[in-house]
Amino acid sequence: MNTYFNHQAGFVSLVGAGPGDPDLLTVKGLRLIQNADVVIYDRLVSADILALANDNAEMIYVGKRLNYHCVPQEEINDLLVEKAQQGRKVVRLKGGDPFIFGRGGEELEALVEKDILFEVVPGVTAAAGATSYAGIPLTHRDHAQSVQFVTGHVKKEGQGINWASLAQSNSTLVFYMGLKQSGSISDNLISNGLDAKTPCAVIEKGTRRDQRVLVDSLDKLATLASQVESPALIVVGSVATLHNKLDWFNQ
Ligand code: SAH
């Protein structure tokens, strides 16, 4: 196989682990994990994927701690730099895709500052993985001609998001990190002109064995969201109704 595989000492591979099902890991991601001296990973990386690492690899968890506080981003950046400078082969493993709401860019900027070489290996992002396993095509000629990925994690209500443009876009809207803000997401969309009866889905633990999919209308979004646990994805748009026809995962 002719590949670009080139994991050397002092090199950092930023790898997307996909949304949960370990078989959704890329072949390149798998080879890098098996070859790594150090694996620095987040909360959303599944145990089955971590188990693929070499027995001698140092495994460092940098997700939320028991007290629910995240490891500060600077601490993670410093750790990556430190391990790379020790001449280790480092895999920085993140759930989904590292460049989609994954702060992958910030970590790479820290490496650039220290002249550390790196590569990026994409992963299946939750929007692709969870909707595939829910039987919800993000685009469909009869439903939506575009799709937008939006963070639901906004500092103040609505800040930084152009709700009018989202509400009037005719796109399928996918909200990451939106569970806690689900009420304000639906309020903002409806008050900016999106029909309250627009279908929406909440996909809990997408691609995992215990995945659950709930479908209702946008005005019921907060009720749907209150019934699920993190991680969950919110999909707004008429494609959500296709779940009823195309659900294959629970057959
Ligand atoms: N980089 C990741 C996203 C990290 S942000 C990616 O590309 O997927 C974390 C958010 O992603 C969660 O709050 C949730 O909204 C979503 N998410 C991640 N994994 C998920 C899963 N298995 N099922 C549903 N949503 C998921």
User: What pLDDT score was predicted for residue 12?
Assistant: 95
State the helix-helix crossing angle for 104-113 and 73-85, rounded to 10 degrees.
50
Residue among 21, 23, 28, 42 flagged as catalytic: 42
Tell me if 126 CB under 6 Å of ligand 1. Answer: yes
> Could you give the angle at the alpha carbon of 104 between the alpha carbons of 226 and 171, nearest 5°?
50
Tell me if 19 CB under 6 Å of ligand 1. Answer: yes
Closest CA to 46 of 68, 29, 70: 29
Ligand 1 atom closest to 44 (CA):
19
Residues 6 or more apart whose CB falls under 8 angstroms from that of 227 comprise 202, 214
100-115 pLDDT, tens digit per residue, is 998 888 899 999 999 9
Can you list the positions of beta strands (E) in the chain?
Answer: 12-16, 38-41, 58-61, 90-94, 118-121, 147-151, 172-176, 199-204, 212-217, 232-236
Q: How far apart are CA 236 and CA 41, in angstroms?
A: 30
212-230 pLDDT, tens digit per residue, is 999 999 999 999 999 999 9
Nearest CA to ligand 1 atom 13: 177
User: What pLDDT score was predicted for residue 164?
Assistant: 96
User: What pLDDT score was predicted for residue 64?
Assistant: 73
User: What pLDDT score was predicted for residue 70?
Assistant: 75
User: What pLDDT score was predicted for residue 68?
Assistant: 65
User: What pLDDT score was predicted for residue 4?
Assistant: 66
203-213 pLDDT, tens digit per residue, is 999 999 999 99
CATH fold for domain 2-121: Cobalt-precorrin-4 Transmethylase; domain 1 (3.40.1010)
Hunting for tokens 């299946």 — which residue is that? 124
User: What pLDDT score was predicted for residue 167?
Assistant: 97
Tell me the average pLDDT across 79-93.
96
For CATH 3.30.950.10, the residue range(s) in the chain are 126-246
Other CB atoms closer than 10 Å to residue 109's CB: what's the count?
Answer: 10
Contact, 183 vs 162, CB < 8 A?
Answer: no
Looking at the predicted structure, is the pLDDT value of residue 144 above 60?
A: yes
Q: The tokens of 19 are what? A: 């949304």
| Interval between CA 196 and ligand 1 midpoint (Å) | 25
Burial of 226 (0-12, 13-18, 19+ CB in 10 A): exposed
Beginning with the edge strand found earlier in the chain, give each strand of the sheet holding 12-16 in spatial order: 58-61, 38-41, 90-94, 12-16, 118-121
Pick the CATH number of 126-246 from 3.40.50.800, 3.40.1190.20, 3.30.950.10, 3.50.50.60: 3.30.950.10
Tell me the average pLDDT across 51-66.
89
End-to-end CA distance of the chain: 36
Residue among 64, 114, 180, 197 flagged as catalytic: 64
Contact, 213 vs 184, CB < 8 A?
Answer: no
152-180 pLDDT, tens digit per residue, is 986 655 568 999 999 999 999 999 999 99
Q: Is 64 a catalytic residue?
A: yes
Tell me if 135 CB under 6 Å of ligand 1. Answer: no
For CATH 3.40.1010.10, the residue range(s) in the chain are 2-121
Give the global pTM.
0.94
Hunting for tokens 């994954």 — which residue is that? 102
